[in-house]
Amino acid sequence: MTVWGVAARIERGNPVVFGVELSGSRAAPVGRQVFLHRCESTDMARALMLLANDLEQELAKKPPTVFVVRSMDWFRTPHEKPTRARLQVEGVLLAVAREAVPTVAAYSGKEIGKLCGCTKSDIEAEATRVLPDLDQDAAMAGLGALVLAEQG
């Protein structure tokens, strides 16, 4: 059983997406980066289309059983431009994954912590400790995906 954890950022106005594949158990996960998408298009609609195409191709190779997107944690004063762009990216990730993966979900850091039976800061620390070479947010999502897979 393999699962994916995915995280997106907006850097200089462009989407950057990290995807990690985890296998094993939450207590002893084995992980590797399987997806990295950086888009330099100034046209956001084109950037989203390129992301969708890249993700679709990667998932076609060997789809995971669970796909979890590390969604944004909400704050009282969001910054509209990067928030809007990141939500658009997360929507594309979820829509494309749903075509190939049986279980697809989006969770904030706080929700991933709760899913894993701990706090956001605890799951961040665990992701850094057990998967140090991977993007922390994607690794957190991957740990949440392992929990979902174990729940059946």
For residue 97 the two structure tokens come to 């994954």
pLDDT of residue 99: 96
Q: Tens digit of pLDDT for each residue in 80-95?
A: 566 788 899 999 999 9
* Least confidently predicted of 3-17, 71-85, 128-142: 71-85
> Which of 1-5, 22-26, 39-43, 128-132 comes out lowest in average pLDDT?
39-43
Q: Provide the CATH number for the domain around residue 89.
A: 3.30.420.10
3-state helix, strand, coil in the chain (%, to 5): 50, 25, 25
Q: What is the pLDDT of residue 81?
A: 61
Provide the percentage of residues in the chain whose pLDDT is more than 90: 79
Query: pLDDT tens digits for 13-48?
Result: 889 999 999 999 888 999 999 999 998 888 999 999
- Across the range 61-83, mean pLDDT stands at 81
* One-character DSSP codes across 16-85: EEEEEEEEE-SSSEEEEEEEEEE---S-HHHHHHHHHHHHHHHHHHS--SEEEEEPPPP-SS--HHHHHH
The number of folded domains in the chain is 1
Residue 59 dihedral angles phi and psi, to the nearest 5°: -70, -25
Domain around 100: 2-151
